Amino acid sequence: MRQILIILTISTTLFASVDWFGYYEGEFDFGKLPGKSMCFGYNKLRLDMDSSPSDNIRISADIIYKQFNGQTELNFMDFIDQKYWTVIPTQTGWDTLSYIPYELSDTLFIDNMFLEFHHKLFDLTLGKQQIAPGVGYAWNPTDIFNLKDIMDPTYENTGISAVKLSIPLGYRTTLSGILQPENSWDETVQYYQLKTGFGHYDLSVLYSRSQYRQSKLLWSSIQLRDLYGFNLEGELFGLGIRSEMAVHRLDYENDNLQYEYIVGADYTFANSLFIMAEYYHSDLGSPVNKTVFDDYLVYFAGEGKSLNQNYLFALAMYPLGDLLDVSIFGIANLDDKSAVVIPQLIYRIYQDVELTFMGSLFIGEDTDEFGYQEFGGRVRLRAYF
């Protein structure tokens, strides 16, 4: 990896004009679980390079180094109630599984590295790039490339290695195709979207074919997935509205369709108070009375957008002058009636330096999704250059 970074740096500096920018970020997290607390954090440096050797070509790359501190060896089982612990076969018989390690390791990697080629008939992007379909804030049913952290839904995503072709078809209308190469054509992700606009609204319809993977404790499943979806966002009488739906057909020609969708709205008052709410439903989540250990494993592994099926996200944000924003948001699991409430304060110390304080209070029974943890906190400092 270091050789790749050296080659990338030398190659980029050969261009006549290279823009360098990025940021440093430091974070400290505290979490309280039943009978246990943990502290961990990281230091992160992101270096961005951008060059345009001609009017039609842009080359860009980001390098990230992330160094963890505090508790770096976590136990997956510490985050779920013992009701969900499972029994597994061992050399001496059967035993209760109580430890699955998860290590936070220092990393050095290329986050994005792509070439954009602009032509009057199309735009082509090659390489590791940002791909973020969907219009939802906390959840994106039509996004098969990324998985948001609902505790921090606006945090940046890692780039996706893909080929993207966009063809303008007229006023506010674009046809896009994305291929994410894998070992074979059957495994390669295909994603096609037609986007258009009318009045105060933007509408897109899409189709995708990919593999849907779920890694269970003792086995895993891979199903061919056809996804049909749409995104709609716009404004109605000053109210921002959005909707996003994905219809999953697992295993080709299977008529057992799985639905996933969000509906949301937001409004900004004259005094700059901003409020938003978003409802999310997913047939792919587990019914609350059938949740087992494997469902938590799939969820924590990032292979599912939710543990259960019905959720509500709500946010209120208010600026206190030019330097300070205060907000509070919450996520509620409507199936098991648990929730987490998160107050947040963002203070811009200087023009390019911001300090964030975040708390989290978990509500519910120990066997609920948001009830097992008790409370937590986060401090984050970010300085741009």
Residue 163 burial (10 A CB sphere; 0-12, 13-18, 19+): middle
**Nearest to residue 25, comparing CAs of 360, 355, 358?**
355
Q: What is the mean pLDDT of residues 3-16?
A: 53
Alpha carbons 166 and 272: distance in angstroms, whole number: 36
pLDDT in tens, 265-286: 999 999 999 999 999 999 999 9
3 state DSSP class of 177: strand
The mean per-residue pLDDT over the stretch 193-213 comes to: 96
Per-residue model confidence (pLDDT) at position 26: 98
**pLDDT tens track for 209-248:** 999 999 888 888 899 999 999 999 999 999 999 999 999 9
pLDDT number for residue 11: 54
DSSP label of 82: G
Q: What is the pLDDT of residue 119?
A: 96
For the CA atoms of 58, 193, 282, 330, what is the dihedral angle to 10 degrees?
Answer: 40
Query: Is the pLDDT at 4 greater than 60, yes or no?
Result: no
Strand partners, 82: none
Instruction: Report yes or no: 260 and 141 within 8 Å, Cβ to Cβ.
Output: yes
- Its pTM stands at 0.92
Give the Å distances, CA to CA, from 177 to 2, 58, 161, 201: 32, 20, 14, 22
pLDDT class of 256 with cuts at 50, 70, 90: confident
CB-based contacts of 19: which residues, under 8 Å, 6+ apart? 48, 49, 50, 51
pLDDT tens sequence across 165-190: 999 999 999 999 999 999 999 899 99
pLDDT digits (tens, 9 = 90+) for 326-369: 999 999 999 999 999 999 999 999 999 999 999 999 999 999 99
State how far the alpha carbon of 188 is from the alpha carbons of 185, 212, 221, 226, 284, in Å.
5, 12, 17, 13, 22
**DSSP secondary structure letter of residue 289:** G
Average pLDDT, the chain: 93
d(CA 303, CA 3): 32
> pLDDT tens digits, residue range 49-90?
999 999 999 999 999 999 999 999 999 999 999 999 998 888
